[in-house]
Structure formats: C-alpha cells, structure tokens
Structure 1
C-alpha cells in the first residue's frame, strides 16, 4: 500500500514538472532579481561600465587638438621641403651669421624636423632662461617659405611658428658648431682633437656624417700603425706598381671634409696612403697597411648606410632626453698621441 502511494506521489510530481516545461513555466521575476547569480552579474556589469567610461575619457584626452595637428603638419612640411638656402648665426646677434649653400647641410636641416620630439620638460621661457641664447637657423625653401629655428643647450629647439612648444632634437646644434666661428678666438688644440670634435663631415657624394663618425675616424687614425710619408713617395710607389702590373697607377681617392667651428679639414684616402689637410691648407701624408686604411673607409661606408636609412624613413625618431649637452669626445684621446705632430707639414 505504501509503495503504491509513493508511486502515485512521484507520478504526480513528474506530471506537474512536465506540465511546467510544456507550458513554459519559468521562475518569477522577483526570484530572479533576488538571486545571488543575478547580483553577481549586476556587479560585473557595473565594473565594465566604469572601465568603458575610463577608456572613453582616455581616448578623448589622447585625441590630438587643433594645435597639435597643426604642429605635426608644420614639422612634416619642413621634413619634406626642398631648401635652397640656410642661414646660421648666434641667436642674440645675427649680424655675423653665415649663409650656407650646401645640399648636405640642407638635408641635415630638414632632418631636425623629423627628429623633433615634443617635450613637457621645459616651457620656451624656461629653456631660454636655463641655457641662454644659443643658435638661430633660418631655412629658405624653393617656394619662398621661411622657417626660423632656435637651438638651446645643444638639443632643445623652438620653432617660431610653434612658439608654445619645446622639442627635443638630438644634435640640433651641429649646424652652428660646424659653420660658426668661436666668438672668443680659436682655442689651441691638435689637429687630431679638432677632427674628433668636428660637428659635421661631408663627402663628395653629398652625404653628411655627425660627430660620432668624426670621433670614430679620429680614434682609428690615432690607433693606426703608420709612418710619415709624402706625395712624392706615393706617386713613385704607384708608378712602380703600374710598371710591375701589380697596380693601376694612382688609385681613386675618397675625400671627407670635416667642419669645425667655421674651419675645415680634409681627409683624403687612397690605398695604403692617405693625407690630412689642416685648416691652414697644409697637408701631411701618411702610409699605413692597406687593410687599416680600408677599415677606415668601411667606417664611413657603414655610417653612410645608417644615415641614409634615417633620411629615408620619413618619420620622427624619438630620442631619450638628456639633461645636459653632449660632452666633447676630444678629451678621450690622449694628448701624447703619436700623431700630435699632424699640424706640421713635412
């Protein structure tokens, strides 16, 4: 009897459950809203809404303003421009400025715009107060547009058309260091030190090189095993090699002009012979192992490839800001260098 009653109850429960399923019977809204699962979903949804609001605010903050878009367009125009003239001078007195008509210098001037990285470290007033008047560059393009650039502390730049912005531009002072004479007279130094301190080097193909290459070249010359020679000895050697069919006569030279505060020095390399022309026009000839001279040539070849890659990129290359101006490398070469007599002509 009990077993029959249990079966009846179970059958009734089964029928009621089946009826609920068939008729779409669901838990009431009140029960759903009061369930712990629903409350967890509500909390998760609130967290997501806050995250969305935060992301929207950040996106709005990161959206470029009209002034920022104008600055980007301005720098891009300089970077792509074709200059026809360049004026370099001291910012507090442009009466003694130098006009430069050199394609390599034009390319370097436009490269400043590519390297420009906006910094919040200083205001224009603060950077001028900290570093004082530096260099002023005036760029003239083929459409008669004029760009004025002020350089402070070696690496900080203010464009007059963007007066509220300060940009970090690596090696921005190179044009002034290369083409402007010292105001208080030229300091005493050896030729090797002047080579190492040169701000720019320009080759016959119109490629330019910066101070890192100048320092590396001077250091290579310093470390190279060499002996003093002469043009006469070089010509005699080339003629003899040509007679013995071990050479083709005078090799084609490669020439690099070093620019150092308004003066120039010229390095000319042949095979095992090379000569250095001082800023007074005197030349000193040297002879070294041809392998060593070729390594010096390779140094310039590699630097040229790297510089050409940067020029072709067409995008800004941000540089880590430095608190002080780049130190001179010349002190790293010992005064007792075995080529300290380079100033003397044979």
Structure 2
C-alpha cells in the first residue's frame, strides 16, 4: 500500500512539472492562433497593402511627369530648331571638359553650317536619360552657336552622337558624328606622335576651306597621294603661296595646311608655320584637286 502511494506521489509531481513547462514554451500553432498575433498580422497586412498602393501611385506619377517632360521637350525642340533655322550663325564656340582653360571660336562658314545642321537634324532618343549619358561618357564638348544678333544656342555633345540641349535638359537627342568638329578643333588630352606630315593628315577629323568642309575619309585619300610626294622633296624653304589654293586639315587640335599651286608643286605647312615643298605629278595634282573641291 505504501508503495502505491509513493508511485502516485511521483506521478503527481511529474504532472505538475510538465504543466509548468508547457506554460513557458507555447507551441508555434498556439502563438499563430492567438488573438494578439492575429491583430498584429492584420495591421501588418494593411500597412503592406497601403505601401504597395503608394508605390503604384508614385510610379504612375513619375511616368506622367516623364511623359509631360517628353511632350514638353518635343515642343521645345521644334521651336528651338525653327529659331536656329531662321538664324544666321556667324560663330561657334567650343569647350571640352577634359581640357582645362581652353576654348575654340570658329567663324568658318562650313563649320558654322555643320553645327547648325546638328541642331536641325537631331532626333530624340527613347529609353535613355540625360543621367545615363552623363554617367557613361567622361568626355563632353560644349557647343555654343552665336547668330548675328548675338543670340546663343547651346548644347552638349557626349560620345560621338548624344546631345543634351541646355534649354531641354530632360531629353536626350542624337546626331551621328556630332562630336567631329570638337574632336578636330580641341586639343586632345593625349597628343599622338607622327613621323611624317602625311601621317598626321591621315588622322585629320575635318578638312576645311572657306567654302566647304570634308571629313576623315577625304583626309585619308589625300594622305596616300602626299605620302608618295614626300619622297620628291624640293630644296626650297619659302615660296609665295598667297595665290595657291589652301586646305586646312585639323587633327585633334593641330592644324596642318596644304597648298596646291598651278605648277606640279605642293606645300605642306605644319603648326609651327614651317613649310615643306614637294614635287607632284600632274595626275596626282588633279586627283588632289578633285578630292578637295
């Protein structure tokens, strides 16, 4: 009998112990099903729904703002192009962000016409922002077109083709080879070394006279002809070239002049105004004249 009472007492103590342990370690299911947990969950779900709704509203608003900017930009560029078209551009100023304290002003008519053509012929890029362009390209040229009334039309050129107008900063436009005149006229950050004048001429970005402007494809063809002529150097340091036809080759800020006379002689003048004279065949003289006319 005493043994039975002892066993009952032990069982009672174990039961109390188990009951106490259960009070301090509730199961996961009991927590989830509790009224307090359900109340917190409802508040959390409601807050999440509100945040999602606000995010959708913000996204929709940003899209509307972007659409307004694009539409506004289209109207502005149409007005801008009209103004430039009716203007007589007499000078273009160039600045590069990679070259400190240097600007270049040009009054050459063909260069001014080309800068004007950039504005009239550019088109808006879809899916690219001004921030995208500014982050991608380290080099930037600033072009300022100035008309006879001193009105200025300014834009920036990134890479070869991307354009951002100062008056329409929200949109990005493009014109193939927009950077060419900046590449040609502004000194390159790192100047390439050339062994001969014809090699420098081959890299010229533009070739200009008072009437026309041509590009690197012409410069390469001219350099091939001049390369042959450099072997026929004439022993004279100076000649009157004032009546000869002058062609100006711009290579990353360096000017090389080529003069072609009536006789079969060509003169090449470097940036230090040192002149070298070469004999050229009649056939090649005609080829040069044809390429550069």
Extract unaligned runs of 5+ from structure 2: 1-69
TM-score of the aligned structures, taking structure 2 as reference length: 0.66
3-state DSSP class of the match of 1:112? helix
> Equivalent residue for 1:22?
none
Quick check: which has more Rg, 1 or 2?
Answer: 2
3-state DSSP class of the match of 2:192? coil
Distance (whole Å) between structure 2 residues aligned to residue 251 and residue 266 of structure 1 = 13
- Contact preservation (8 Å) 1:177, 1:199: yes
For 1:227, which of 226, 232, 236 is the aligned residue?
A: 232
For 1:98, which of 100, 104, 111 is the aligned residue?
A: 104
3-state DSSP class of the match of 2:177? coil
Extract unaligned runs of 5+ from structure 1: 1-63, 236-249, 302-346
For 2:265, which of 267, 273, 277 is the aligned residue?
A: 273
For 2:172, which of 166, 176, 197 is the aligned residue?
A: 166
1:75 counterpart = 2:81: yes
3-state DSSP class of the match of 1:163? strand
For 2:213, which of 172, 184, 208 is the aligned residue?
A: 208
Greater Cα shift, 265-274 or 217-226: 217-226
3-state DSSP class of the match of 2:102? strand
Higher relative contact order (CA 8 A, sep 6+): 1
Greater Cα shift, 160-169 or 93-102: 93-102
| Count of aligned residue pairs for this structure pair | 222
Distance (whole Å) between structure 2 residues aligned to residue 290 and residue 92 of structure 1 = 44
Distance (whole Å) between structure 1 residues aligned to residue 159 and residue 89 of structure 2 = 25
> Equivalent residue for 1:261?
252
Q: CA deviation at 1:81?
A: 2.0
Distance (whole Å) between structure 2 residues aligned to residue 173 and residue 158 of structure 1 = 13
For 1:283, which of 242, 251, 275 is the aligned residue?
A: 275
Greater Cα shift, 76-85 or 272-281: 76-85
> Equivalent residue for 2:94?
88
> Equivalent residue for 1:31?
none
For 1:134, which of 129, 140, 160 is the aligned residue?
A: 140
TM-score of the aligned structures, taking structure 1 as reference length: 0.57
- Contact preservation (8 Å) 1:197, 1:260: yes
3-state DSSP class of the match of 1:212? helix
> Equivalent residue for 1:197?
203
Distance (whole Å) between structure 2 residues aligned to residue 137 and residue 296 of structure 1 = 32
The 1:170–1:230 alpha-carbon spacing in structure 2 relative to 1, beyond 3 Å, is farther
The 1:193–1:233 alpha-carbon spacing in structure 2 relative to 1, beyond 3 Å, is closer
- Contact preservation (8 Å) 1:228, 1:286: yes
Say what the alpha-carbon RMSD is for the aligned residues. Answer: 2.9
